[in-house]
Amino acid sequence: MAYPGSFDHQSNVNPAQLTRGGQLNAAGDARALYLKLFSGEMFKGFQNNTIARDLVMKRTLKGGKSLQFVYTGRTTAEYHVPGQSILGNDQGAPPVAEKTITCDDLLISSAFVYELDEVLSHYDLRSEISRKIGYALAEKYDRLIFRQIAKGARQASPVAKADFVEPGGTQVRVGTSVNESDAFDSAALVNAFYDAAAAMDEKGVSGDGRVAVLNPRQYYSLIQAVGTNGLINRDVTGTALQSGQGIIEIAGIKIYKSMNIPFLGNYGTKYGGTTGVTNPGNTGSFVGSDTALEDGGGVTGMNNNYGEQNAFDTTCGLIFQREAAGVVEAIAPQVQVTSGDVSVIYQGDVILGRLAMGADFLNPAACVELYTGATAPSAFGTTYPANT
C-alpha cells in the first residue's frame, strides 16, 4: 500500500515528485501542452503559406450551410420640383442583388505517426509533419480562391437592372504576340498593370487593398528591371526586395508571388513550349496541373464551381481588390490528434489538420485576369457542369 508522499516500491518513483512536462500546472492531461505546441506548428505552416486569406473578404459561417452577400447598385440624382412629393425615384433604384457562397465539405490532411519512429528519430517528427499538413491546407485554400477571382474577371455584375447595370470583370492581355513568353516580359507586365489600374478606376473600384499575384518567374522578371524601366515604385531595396513578400508596387497595386495561381493551365509555372522558360529539372510531382482535385462539379465534396482545368490555359496572373472574392469558413484551420486507447491499440497517433470553407467571386469589377494570346479566356458557368 502506498501512502501520500511515499515511494511506489514497484516503480521506485514518487508520483508527487514526478515532473510531467506536458501537464498544465502539474495537473490534468499529461499531454496537454504537447498538443498545444503541435497545434501551433500546424497554424504556423498554414499562415506562412497562404496569402489569399487576408486579401479577400473572409466571413465565419455559423448555423447554416451558406452565407449571403448583398449587392446594392447605384442610383441617380435629380432636381426637385417645387411642391412635388419626394417618394423615391420612379425607376426603383438602387437595384439589389445577392450572391450566396456555400461551404464545401470538410477538407483534411492527415498522417499517422508511429510511436517507435518518434523514439528513434533524431528530430521533432510531429512538428515537421504538422508543418507539412499546414502547407497542404494552405495550398488548397489559395488555389480555390485564386480560381474564383479569375472566374469573376470573366463575369458581368449580378446587378443588371435596366439603366442601372453595374460594371463587370476585366481581362487584360499581356503583350501583343500570341506567344506565352509575353507573360514573363517585364515591360508588357508593367503596361498590363497600368491598364488594369485604369480599368478599376473607371469602374469605381476603391484604390485601397489592390493587389496582384504573379508566379515567381514573373515577379523576378519585374525586380530585375527595377531601376531601369522607371515604372516600378520601390518601397525597399536589397534582400527585402528579392524576398517576394509584396514589396513592389505598380500603379498602387502591391505585388505578391505564389505558386498557387492558375498559370497557363498549370499552377505556379509552366515549362517548355513557347513559354520561354527552361525546365530546371527534378521539379517533383507538385508542379503542374491539378485536375484530379479541383475540376468544378467533378469532385465529391465541392459545392462551389471552381472551373475545369482547361478554363485557365491562357491565364497568367491576377490583379484584384479585396471585394473581388469572398471566403466563408465553417471550421477554421485546426488540428486534431488521437490519444488514449486508440494510441495504445495502434502504438501511434493520427495527426489531422482540417478546415471547412467555400469561396466564390463577389464584385466582378474588382477582378482582373491577365492572359496571353489573341483571345481572352471565356466565362465558365455558375452551375454544373462547368466549362464543358
Per-residue model confidence as pLDDT tens for the chain (388 residues): 444 554 444 555 555 555 656 676 777 766 566 655 566 666 677 777 788 988 998 888 887 888 887 777 777 787 888 988 787 776 766 777 778 888 999 998 988 888 887 777 666 778 888 888 888 898 899 999 999 999 999 999 888 777 788 899 999 999 999 899 999 999 999 999 999 999 999 999 999 999 999 999 999 888 887 666 555 655 555 555 555 555 578 899 999 999 999 999 888 788 877 777 888 888 877 777 666 555 555 567 888 888 888 889 999 999 999 999 999 999 888 888 888 888 888 888 888 889 999 999 999 999 999 999 999 999 876 554 333 3
Q: What is the pTM of this model?
A: 0.81
Grid cell, residue 193, equals 498593370
Instruction: Please state, in angstroms and as integers, the Cα–Cα distance from residue 129 to each residue in 51, 106, 145, 285, 346, following that order.
Output: 21, 20, 25, 19, 18
Q: Which helix (H) or strand (E) holds 106?
A: none
Which of the 8 DSSP states describes residue 33?
H
- Residues 6 or more apart whose CB falls under 8 angstroms from that of 80 comprise 86
Task: Say if residue 68 is exposed, middle or buried (CB neighbours under 10 Å; 0-12, 13-18, 19+).
Answer: exposed
Cα separation, 206 vs 193, whole angstroms: 16
Cα separation, 366 vs 320, whole angstroms: 5
DSSP of 260-298: TSEETTEES---STTS-----S---SSSB--HHHH-TTS
Domain 36-72+94-371 listed as CATH 1.10.3720: no
